[in-house]
Structure 1
Amino acid sequence: MTRFIFITGGVVSSLGKGLASASLGALLQARGFKVRLRKLDPYLNVDPGTMSPVQHGEVFVTDDGAETDLDLGHYERFTGVAARRTDNITTGRIYSNVISKERRGDYLGATVQVIPHVTDEIKAFIGSDLTDEDFVLCEVGGTVGDIESLPFLEAIRQFGNEIGQEHALFVHVTLVPFLGAAGELKTKPTQHSVKELLSVGIQAGMLLCRSEHPIPADQRRKIALFCNLPPERVIAANDVSTIYEVPLAYHAQGFDEQVLQYFNITNAPKPDLRRWDSVVKRVREPEHDVTIAIVGKYTTLIDSYKSLAEALAHGGIANNARVRLEWLDSQIFETEDPVPHLENVHGILVPGGFGERGTEGKIHAAKFARERKVPYFGICFGMQMAVIEAARNLAGLKGAGSTEFGPTEHPVVGLMTEWLRGNELEKRAANGDLGGTMRLGAYPAILRQNSKVRAIYGAGEISERHRHRYEVNINYRQALEQQAGLIFSGLSPDGELPEIVERADHPWFVGVQYHPELKSKPMDPHPLFAAFIKAAMEQSRLV
């Protein structure tokens, strides 16, 4: 029978529940177990698709087109298990489902309440779409004590009771702060957090204690005594130099071993962590050093580009290089000369985004990269801005722009209202809902013979994940290829949707309509990021 591990958090947010879940999944996987990871989010949005990146961080998109929490990116990167639509649920989705059922009369006239109807819906999600997984790890977002997370805590309490203690483990992540004035670690916040969890009927079976300082054995025994746990199930979670060291650090603390002991699993093989050792060694001891400028709109919160930053690090791992990132707000290039900011970088990446703010700055960055022969990587919006730059400055299409920002004389980027997904026609309306109405998820692309990207991928057909509403206008292909030197090197199977552009007159200039960063992993860096960092290394020898 599948065993369920529920990961909750207390005291403060951002303690690393997502990394803890991903790391435990990786450790169990390294022992030969089949794992699945899920996220329960307490906010009322149906999904994070309409949320500002500077409030919530990036939106991670799955192959099947779900807009999900960024923690699912951690899960995929650490385990290689592709996330699905059924791996992320929010309070908004739960209540939407419950209300839809009530309107249809599914509850047969019953008074619809949080218990049992909402909690039943949560429990149904937790146990859905499973096959033969050995472990399902469910991370509960938010912090114990938050009013919005109470239905989820009640649901996992019920779920644990229903499947039995021998099949359910509650792991609580908490904080052990160091007070400089007192010169000591304080365990009281952890004690109160565990007590808060106990007040809703959940006894933590294991604690992960985040701390900037090592937690002495006597402090761990104290925590264990107050929290009704054996000392060996109080796991220290100290800061490490790279997130890819977290599985190794947790294993050294006995996290995975204690999980197996809790479930009375005694015959599991030792984990093979050599690949993790190799990744950490390359991160710590790189042979090369490159600097990449990321010219974006949401640079005030780096989590807005979490997968992107990790994919660039993976490109560095592939090339045994340290990748230094310079985060530049694209708006500065609308009032300042980009040269002082960009002349010493070895590569320029313009990521995705929405809205008109900062777009001219991104266009200036693309122009600088084209003219100065600096490796350029345009992703989604970054590809569109490179196309607009080429249309204006090389193809003679003055005023070229995107209909996303209003009417334009030359709409080289515009809203696609319908397209094919396989044999199914998908349609969108310009004035329709924003949430869930983009081209989302995995779509195939055909790569042009003898193109740079075909050589990079080593394949003629690829599948990549999308999240966008506007497309490069295929009707301008001839002008852009013949007059601006752009090569449309990747197209949708029907030839209607441009997926990739590149330049033959440039060392490395590639724009893609999709988000390759979503599929990159430390053990399997995405080929485009590996190639981009390699080109940046070549550029570093020229600067």
Structure 2
Amino acid sequence: MKYIFVTGGVVSSLGKGILTSSLGAILRGRGYRVTALKIDPYVNVDAGTMRPYEHGEVFVTGDGAETDLDIGHYERFLDIDLARANNLTTGQVYLSVIQKERRGEYLSQTVQVIPHITDEIKERIRRTAQEQGAEIVVVEVGGTVGDIESLPFLEAIRQFQFDENDGDVMYLHLTLVPYLPTSEEFKTKPTQHSVSALRGVGIQPDVLVLRSEKMVPEDVRKKVALFTNVRPSEVFSSPTVQHLYEVPLVLEEQGLGRIVEKKLGLETIPPNLSFWQGAVKKLKHPSHEVRVAFVGKYVKMPDAYLSILEGFRHAGIAHDARVEVKWVNAEEITDASKAAELLGDVDGILVGPGFGIRGVEGKILAARYAREHRVPYFGICLGLQIAVIEYARNVLGLEGANSTEFDPYTPHPVIDLMPEQLEAEGLGGTMRLGNWPMRIHPGTILHRLYGRDLVLERHRHRYEVNPEYVGRLVEGGLTVSALTPGMHGRGEGLVEAIELPNHPFFIGLQAHPELSSRPMRVSPPFSGFIEAALAKKKGSGPQVLDPEKTLME
């Protein structure tokens, strides 16, 4: 097993997740089995209860873990499915150690940070890599070197260099090199201090990656090398790029892959990065353009919807199109005229996931505008529920129809709490999470998109379409295009997807298909939505991509 540890210095949010993902892509391009693991120093057990404005979206794995958004980057760059074990937090580590102590597993020992906490960290890293059959594991340590919260994790990864064989462990440090336009110079002092702090806890970085707005010139990289005890050939530049999928290409061009091969004693293999080259070419020079509206309430923080934005990007690559996203604050859609004003210039409307009543009525108005003006509509999770509420009110005439999440006393609870949620205790990890099957009805648009009857998609929700209203919705013209087979003894199960039969594209999914979308394998509903939006712009009917065709082919 080979271990690569990625740390960060100077400031947070430098892009360690993208660097970790890009390094994984470079190694995958050489044919290695790679996995990635994110360490988060916060005391939360998982990311499920943290607000999107602070940490961005909650990424859900197939096994139902609510994780940091970097896990999504890893999956997309490496084209692999990760699991609960790939996101390690302080909360998880201490909870496990305390539970072991209570069970008497430490016998008469005094339980301490060293060795018990550090041993727990190391054991989890090793077990995850072994269970996933990886040849190389890339471990990202969240936070910034110097943070108190990170110290146990830094100590644990320091110990790897003595626990493992020579040449099986390397350390990569990402640090900021500010560029001052007034004096037209790069400042290396923050990087020097950051590396000094890292060395102060016993870790000498093997490789430095300098994050800056521009490509850091050779003389600056030599200066950094001189003051950090790293060879100039092992100092790399990570400038701001137009598209994040350029990062593996930029780093490989500078020779990062060759240095990793040398440090870890790997065979020299020319990498195959042709997919990334083709994807970046399409992103930079697309043949088409399309504009879609994203109607939500966290529109000032795009990372809150990161996987959906990536799904748009993947569909754009598949259709050789630039997807421009118009952010629409749902609270600003106050009536039909405002909906027309804000949505009249787009080729598609997406209403995304969310919790709470804020902005709900604006989202309902957006769904109505899409239905009545035949604008392609894509509803994800809450977006499906919004479409059902709108249809019940304005087509079936069920006045006051709503979700019990927003109005517990609604006369028509077309959306209601799932029965098992009545027994849920607490908020963390208690929703319907992870992969669940949905059986798709033949003859529907959704069936043409997926090309099969049964698929798995990831979920994160507490509320569902109320089974007592499904018959009335169907009789009123709404198509239920997918169900969860055999749930709660209700016959075929819960509503997984709806669509309108006499509409260019009007689909809602209870699942989150964006979580499984990849650059090389676009999510079918995202592909269909962008195809329909392109068709609207061109004034032609939508053409559905062959679901069996992938960009890798």
Q: 2:418 aligns with which of 416, 419, 440?
A: 416
Q: How does 1:45-194 map to 2 (within 5 A)?
A: 45-129=44-128, 130-131=130-131, 132-194=133-195
Distance in 2 (CA, whole Å) between partners of 1:339 and 1:430 is 42
Partner of 1:300: 300
Aligned pair partner of 1:453 in 446, 457, 479:
446
Q: Is 1:202 the equivalent of 2:203?
A: yes
Structure 1 match to 2:462: 469
For residues 90-126 of structure 1, what are the alpha-carbon distances to aligned partners after superposition, in whole Å with 9 as ceiling and x for unaligned? 1111111111112222211322221111111111111
1:221 alignment partner in structure 2? 222
- 1:429 offset after TM fit, Å? 2.9
Give the letter for the 1:293 counterpart: A
User: Tell me, what secondary structure is at the counterpart of 1:149?
Assistant: helix
| Match of residue 239 from structure 1 | 240
Alignment partner of 1:537 is 2:530: no
Aligned residue for 2:18, secondary structure, equals helix
Aligned partner of residue 14 in structure 1, secondary structure: coil
Match of 1:327 in 2: 327
Q: Describe the superposition over 1:187-242 as per-residue Cα deviations: whole angstroms up to 9, x where unpaired.
A: 11111100000111111110010111222211111111111111110011111110
* Residue type at the aligned position of 2:355: F
In the alignment, does 2:27 pair up with 1:16? Answer: no
**Residue type of the alignment partner of 2:144:** T
CA deviation vs aligned residue, 1:135-160 (integer Å, no higher than 9, x gap): 00000000001111111111111123
Which residue is equivalent to 1:340? 341
What secondary structure is seen at the aligned counterpart in 2 of 1:293?
strand
- Could you tell me how far apart the structure 2 residues matched to 1:161 and 1:239 are? 36
State whether residues 373 and 506 of structure 1, in contact with CA within 8 Å, keep that contact through their aligned partners in structure 2: yes
Give the distance between the partners of 2:265 and 2:25, measured in 1 at CA. 20
TM-score (normalised: structure 1): 0.96
**Is residue 314 from structure 1 mapped to residue 322 from structure 2 by the alignment?**
no
**Contact 2:8/2:173, CA 8 A, preserved across alignment:** yes
Please give the secondary structure, in 2, of the residue aligned with 1:337. Answer: helix
SS across alignment from 1:128: helix
SS of the residue 1:247 aligns to: helix
Cα drift, residue 409 of structure 1: 1.2
Query: In the alignment, does 2:505 pair up with 1:527?
Result: no
Alpha-carbon contact 2:442-2:453 (below 8 Å) kept? yes
**Residue 300 of structure 1, CA deviation:** 1.8
How many angstroms apart in 2 are the aligned matches of 1:344 and 1:182?
Answer: 44
Across the two proteins, how many residue pairs are aligned to each other?
A: 531
Amino acid at match of 1:493: P
Residue 16 of structure 1: how far off its partner (Å): 0.9
For 1:507, the equivalent position in structure 2 comes to: 504
The Cα shift of 1:430 comes to 5.7
Q: Deviations over 1:345-386 (max 9, x none)?
A: 000000000111111111110000000000000000000000
Partner residue of 2:480?
Answer: 488
1:28 maps to which residue?
A: 27
Secondary structure of the residue aligned to 1:48 is: coil
2:547 alignment partner in structure 1: none
Moved over 4 A (4+): none
**Which residue is equivalent to 2:543?**
none
The residue type equivalent to 2:482 in the other structure is G
RMSD (Å), alpha carbons = 1.3
Question: Is the Cα–Cα contact under 8 Å of residues 415 and 430 in structure 1 kept in the other structure?
Answer: no
Secondary structure class of the residue paired with 2:481: strand
Q: Secondary structure, in 3 states, of the residue corresponding to 1:522? A: coil
Preserved contact between residue 41 and residue 142 of structure 1 (Cα < 8 Å): yes
**One-letter amino acid matched to 2:443:** N
Name the counterpart of 1:518. 515
Query: Structure 2 CA distance, aligned partners of 1:255 and 1:334?
Result: 52
Instruction: Give the Cα separation in 2 of the matches to 1:371 and 1:201.
Output: 64
Once residues 165 and 250 of structure 1 are traced to their aligned partners in structure 2, the CA distance between those partners, rounded to angstroms, is 25
TM (normalized to structure 2)? 0.94
Residues 334, 358 of structure 1: 8 Å contact kept? no
1:368 aligned residue: 369
The secondary structure found in structure 1 opposite 2:205 is coil
Identity level (%): 51
Answer whether contact 2:347 2:536 (CA < 8 A) is retained.
Answer: yes
Q: Is the 8 A contact 2:57 2:68 kept in 1?
A: yes
The CA distance in 2 between the partners of 1:186 and 1:46, in whole Å, is 38
Q: Distance in 2 between matches of 1:507 and 1:40?
A: 44
Aligned residue type for 1:333: I
- 1:266-306 per-residue CA deviation (whole Å, 9 max, x = no partner) reads x3320111111110111011111101100012112110000
Contact 2:258 2:268 in 1 (8 A): no
Shift of 1:431: 6.2
1:142-186 Cα offsets, whole Å, 9 max, x none, are 000111111111111112321144111110000111112222001
